[in-house]
């Protein structure tokens, strides 16, 4: 309550009023509570002298009391928060004394047992002024002096007025601080709500996993005031967590995309394994292994939240701070909501990618199978009963159940692909794809793309993503025909697939794995190529695990009659003809012939014979066998296939590559247009850009 103001000289009163007005204005100018508390002692010293100044504040919402020493005449304890002992005593005393109270020490120390000034100050007089406004009681301002006669009665009214002005300034500063805190909290809530909305939109609009996770990491880092946000997902091969996306501008580079979480016992792995949120402060992080990525990067706070959907852990959302600011319970609860949204997004993206991969694979398999259907080497079984062939079949039965690499040797046209198919069909992989690739038929620059695939834009002409043959043959078998034609620079990548079962598509840094069994074939002497340094020794030994030699047709003459009947029946059905007689003289000639082109040459000859036969008796152009024309380019015996190809190309060139019509190549050769086109497809004849025949 206000005390009566003793009579004072007019000049002294005016001076006190001016001082009070000036101090009141100075105090009211501070809008920040900490700044106000720091400047209060200097402002009050313009009105009254003291050896100590303390502030007792009461927070009505929590009913808590705090004691703060604002000034202790240069003592080191100045401006430090005091221990919180005796809160109930302080609160009771403040509520009991709602008006100024003068206390003489040590006689009345029992009135304020919770307030002890340093002994060196020798405090004898304490004056407590209530800090009240019309709306609430804030607490008390306590003046202390070593002069027992300090704070005379004529000064008390002035001090009460100054205490009222101080209470208004403190109330205004606290209200302003609360308003700023409320605004900051509102902004934070709006940012968090916007983040959840953005995540919800991302779930339905962005199905590319990596782009989605990068966008999520950047948004979460900004909203949560973190230095690093990443998303770790289990590797499909070994289930170790791999970082798929990370936003860490100030990082040292240890945490980066595609790197694996090194420790299976670290906080990130434990969060994934146990499905529990793990939040660590600086003290807890200091106890981790030095090899942990969070420790190596210098994090002072960490929070790992598992991404769980349908009771299944999909990965971990990882947040880190380089400053000492642990994650609060409110932040962790919000991050739990974020993780639930991210889990849905990850699940959708993974499902989309799986469907897209399966769709691409099915499309590639469809094209591949269509090519296989058009191929004329797609036999159901191997025809023959000779001892040489039976030896090969026994080897096939021995190696087929294993997953060992098989290298098939043999001349051109002996049926190496049929042997490879037999190995696949007798293996446990028979229910999956058998993918073949002729390494000699594809230019070196494109062979790598055919083997391992490429990403869109990897090179000129790569207008779409392409799945490679090794990826297509996953869980099945891949047959590399003419493996000796692979360029030296590509051989290390093939060796890596055989040893590590890993590869990357052209234009991609993502490592893919394949569980394809390799079956290779060659008509060349790979051992000699190794000696000539034309083939890598380590790749040769990796391929030559189980060699199988397919004998040429001249070494299995007893099989020729069976093959002749098989081919004649096959071509006759295709051409809607009936051929049931093969002259014995013709068969004898076919058996005695050397067949430099092996089974492929025999097949082509019999196809031509069926075309030429007009009745039930097979008419074989035996003159073609006796002539055995020489190839002008190579100076060697020309096979029937080569001779046929040369004849067709010559007719096409004479007709200016016109197939049908009276002046077309079909008319010149005496064939139907469809028959000629079928033969051209079979022999791989097409017109190149230069006008020369292409393959």
Residue 8, pLDDT above cutoff 60: no
Between residues 570 and 688, the one the model is more confident about: 570
CB of 32 within 8 A of CB of 174? Answer: no
Count of Cβ atoms closer than 10 Å to residue 381 Cβ:
10
For residue 262, is pLDDT > 80?
no
590 vs 422: CA distance, rounded Å: 27
How does pLDDT run across 584-625, given as a tens digit for each residue? 888 888 888 889 889 888 999 999 999 988 888 898 887 777
Distance of CA 641 to the CA centre of its chain: 51
What average pLDDT does range 160-180 have in this prediction?
Answer: 85
Segment among 97-101, 171-175, 374-378, 382-386 with least mean pLDDT: 374-378
Per the listing, tokens 């009211």 go with 28
Cβ atoms of 415 and 550 closer than 8 Å: yes
Q: What is the DSSP letter of 516?
A: P
The reply to whether omega before 106 is within 30° of 0 (cis) is yes
Measured CA to CA, the distance from residue 674 to residue 652 in angstroms comes to 15
Average pLDDT of the chain is 80
Q: Which residues of 531-566 are buried (b: 16+ CB within 10 A; e: fewer)?
A: eeeebbeebbebbbebebebbbbeebeebbeebbbb
Task: Tell me the C-alpha distance between 493 and 511, whole Å.
Answer: 13
Per-residue buried b or exposed e for 636-675, using 16+ beta carbons within 10 Å of the residue's own CB: eebbbbbbbbbebbebbeebeebbeeeebbbbbbebeeee
Question: Which pLDDT does position 480 carry in this prediction?
Answer: 94
State which of 145-159, 458-472, 525-539 shows the largest mean pLDDT: 525-539
> What secondary structure, in 3-state letters, does 406-431 show?
EEEECCCCCCHHHHHHHHHHCCCCCC
323: Cβ contacts below 8 Å, ≥ 6 apart: 227, 300, 301
Task: Calculate mean pLDDT across residues 684-690.
Answer: 66
**Domains of the chain, each with CATH number or no CATH:** 10-178 (3.30.450.40), 206-352 (3.30.450.40), 375-551 (3.40.50.300), 557-694 (1.10.8.60)
pLDDT > 60? residue 84:
no
pLDDT at 479 over 90: yes
pLDDT in tens, 221-246: 777 778 888 888 888 766 778 887 88
Percent of the chain at pLDDT exceeding 90? 15
Tell the residue number behind the tokens 């206390």, with chain if given: 103
pLDDT given at position 273:
84
Q: What integer pLDDT is reported at residue 635 of this predicted model?
A: 44
- pLDDT recorded at residue 420: 93
| Minimum mean pLDDT range among 61-65, 440-444, 445-449 | 61-65
Looking at residue 376, its pLDDT comes to 37
Would you tell me how many other CB atoms lie within 10 Å of the CB of residue 21? 11
Closest CA to 214 of 246, 248, 243: 246
Whole-number pLDDT of residue 1: 40
Query: Taking Cα atoms as reference points, which of 619, 609, 615 lies closest to residue 567?
Result: 609
The four Cα atoms 550, 552, 555, 559 give a dihedral, to 10 degrees, of 80
60-83 average pLDDT score:
65
pLDDT at position 81 is 45
- Tell me how far apart the alpha carbons of residues 121 and 385 are, in angstroms, rounded to a whole number: 118
Confidence band (pLDDT; 50, 70, 90) for 377? very low
Which among 36-45, 215-224, 259-268, 356-365 has the top mean pLDDT?
36-45
pLDDT of residue 333: 85
Q: Place 115 in a pLDDT band, splitting at 50, 70 and 90.
A: confident
Does residue 213 contact residue 346 with C-beta atoms inside 8 Å?
A: yes
Kindly indicate the confidence band of residue 481, based on its pLDDT and cuts at 50, 70 and 90: very high
Would you list the DSSP string of 80-106? PBPP-TTHHHHHHHHHH--S-EEEETT
CB atoms within 10 A of CB 629: 13
- pLDDT at res. 522: 93
């Amino acid at each position: 309550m206000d005390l009566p103001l003793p009579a004072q000289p007019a000049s002294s009163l005016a001076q006190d009023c001016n001082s009070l007005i000036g101090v009141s204005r100075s105090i009211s100018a501070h809008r920040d509570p900490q700044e106000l508390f720091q400047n209060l002692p200097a402002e009050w010293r313009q009105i009254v002298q003291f050896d100590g100044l303390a502030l007792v504040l009461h927070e009505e919402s929590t009913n808590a009391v705090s004691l703060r020493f604002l000034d202790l005449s240069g003592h080191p304890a100045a401006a430090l928060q005091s221990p919180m002992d005796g809160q109930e005593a302080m609160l009771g005393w403040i509520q009991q004394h709602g008006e100024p109270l003068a206390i003489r020490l040590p006689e009345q120390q029992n009135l304020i047992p919770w307030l002890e000034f340093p002994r060196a100050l020798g405090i004898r007089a304490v004056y407590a002024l209530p800090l009240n406004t019309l709306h609430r009681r804030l607490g008390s301002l306590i003046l202390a002096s070593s002069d027992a006669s300090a704070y005379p009665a004529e000064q008390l009214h002035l001090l009460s007025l100054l205490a009222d002005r101080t209470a208004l300034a403190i109330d205004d500063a606290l209200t302003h601080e609360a308003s700023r805190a409320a605004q900051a909290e509102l902004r934070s809530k709006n940012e968090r709500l916007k983040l959840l909305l953005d995540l919800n939109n991302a779930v339905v609009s962005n199905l590319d996993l990596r782009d989605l996770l990068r966008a999520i990491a950047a948004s979460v880092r900004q909203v949560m005031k973190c230095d690093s946000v990443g998303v770790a997902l289990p590797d499909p091969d070994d289930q170790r967590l791999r970082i798929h996306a990370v936003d860490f501008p100030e990082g040292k580079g240890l945490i980066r995309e595609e790197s694996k979480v090194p420790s299976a016992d670290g906080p990130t792995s434990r969060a994934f394994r146990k499905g529990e949120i793990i939040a660590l402060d600086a003290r807890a992080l200091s106890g981790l292994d030095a090899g942990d990525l969070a420790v190596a990067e210098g994090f002072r706070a960490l929070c790992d939240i598992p991404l769980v959907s349908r009771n299944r852990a999909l990965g971990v959302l990882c947040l880190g701070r380089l400053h000492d600011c642990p994650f609060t319970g409110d932040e962790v609860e919000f991050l739990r909501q974020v993780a639930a949204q991210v889990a849905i997004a990850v699940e959708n993206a993974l499902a989309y990618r799986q469907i897209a991969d399966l769709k691409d694979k099915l499309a590639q398999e469809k094209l591949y199978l269509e090519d296989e259907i058009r191929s004329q080497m797609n036999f159901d079984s191997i025809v023959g009963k000779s001892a040489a062939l039976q030896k090969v079949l026994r080897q096939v039965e021995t190696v087929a159940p294993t997953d060992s690499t098989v290298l098939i040797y043999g001349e051109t046209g002996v049926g190496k692909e049929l042997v490879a198919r037999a190995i696949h069909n007798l293996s446990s992989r028979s229910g999956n794809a058998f993918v073949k690739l002729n390494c000699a038929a594809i230019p070196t620059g494109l062979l790598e793309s055919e083997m391992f695939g490429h990403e869109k834009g990897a090179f000129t002409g790569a207008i779409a993503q392409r799945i490679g043959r090794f990826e297509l043959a996953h869980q099945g078998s891949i047959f590399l025909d003419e493996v000796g034609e692979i360029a030296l620079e590509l051989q290390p990548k093939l060796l890596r697939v055989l040893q590590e079962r890993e590869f990357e598509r052209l234009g991609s840094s993502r490592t893919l794995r394949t569980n394809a069994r390799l079956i290779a074939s060659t008509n060349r002497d790979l051992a000699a190529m190794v000696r000539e340094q034309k083939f890598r020794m380590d790749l040769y030994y990796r391929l030559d695990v189980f060699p199988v030699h397919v004998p040429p047709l001249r070494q299995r003459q007893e099989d020729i009659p069976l093959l002749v009947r098989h081919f004649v029946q096959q071509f006759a059905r295709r051409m809607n003809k009936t051929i049931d007689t093969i002259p014995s003289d013709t068969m004898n000639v076919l058996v005695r012939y050397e067949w430099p082109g092996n089974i492929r040459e025999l097949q082509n000859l019999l196809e031509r014979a069926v075309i030429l036969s007009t009745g039930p008796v097979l008419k074989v152009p035996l003159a073609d066998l006796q002539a055995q024309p020489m190839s002008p380019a190579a100076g060697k015996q020309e096979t029937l296939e080569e001779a046929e190809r040369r004849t067709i190309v010559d007719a096409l060139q004479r007709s200016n590559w016109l197939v049908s019509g009276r002046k077309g190549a079909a008319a010149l050769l005496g064939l139907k247009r469809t028959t000629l086109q079928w033969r051209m497809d079979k022999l791989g004849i097409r017109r190149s850009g230069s006008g020369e025949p292409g393959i």
